[in-house]
Amino acid sequence: MLRKISIAAIAVAVSGFSMTACATTIGIGFTNIGIHAGDGLNMSLPGGSLTAKQSLGSDYQVNGHFLGAGGENQADFFLGNVGVGKVIPLGEGLGTVTPSLNMGFQSLNVQGGNLSAATAFARVKYDYAINHNVKLYAQGGFGRDFATSVTNLSTIGGLMYNAGAGANFRVGPGMFNVGYEYSHLPLSGAAGLHLSTDQYQIGYSMMF
């Protein structure tokens, strides 16, 4: 009898771990992104975003964020980030902190030119659940942009940083999200060029 109970307990534990390990969250959204690149190069572009998060057990997760926007003055903008993080509970009712290491790429195409950069940065995200239906988050990170490129200009990159906040509301089987994020990438200090963005977004995500 004891052996049967032990086997049943192990089976439940393995089953629970497998469900957690296979938990995937997919989200889509609408974004309006304000772009400020210096030297009078400013614009606002509407676009769409795709987010994905794969849980690896109860502590680790892999995440991705991809965004595309375009429209004004035949310009288009692309952003992509992927990272690996570890969820750290702060205690009952205190939320969680998730430090992560990330790699990314940003590119702005305008008439007659292109500005782009790859990024490597560390980020910390804080999540707090007010209740089962409402969750808040804030995040910030810093790192380095490299492989920077501006048409007809020599670039070296530098210290980049980002910060954002938002809220998730349970609606139906998933979560409705509203959020804001700011990022700054230096491209050429001598020419006064950078790639700074103000990103406002709304979206919806579901766990599978």
* pLDDT, tens digit only, all 208 positions of the chain: 434 434 443 343 333 433 445 589 999 999 999 988 877 778 899 999 999 999 987 789 999 999 999 986 788 999 999 999 999 999 888 999 999 999 999 999 888 788 889 999 999 999 999 999 999 999 999 999 888 888 877 777 789 999 999 999 999 999 999 999 999 988 876 667 788 899 999 999 998 8
* Per-residue confidence (pLDDT) for residue 6, from 0 to 100: 41
In a domain? residue 6: no
Of the candidates 87, 125, 127, 79, which has an alpha carbon nearest to the alpha carbon of residue 103? 79
| Structural domain span for residue 89 | 24-207
133 in a structural domain? yes
- Structural domain includes residue 84: yes
CA distance 138 to 166: 7
pTM of the predicted protein model = 0.82
pLDDT on residue 189: 65
pLDDT of residue 151: 82
What is the tally of structural domains in the chain? 1
Instruction: Give the pLDDT of residue 137.
Output: 97
Six-digit token string for 120: 């490597």
Determine, yes or no, domain membership for 39: yes
Identify the CATH number of the domain in which residue 98 sits. Answer: 2.40.128.100
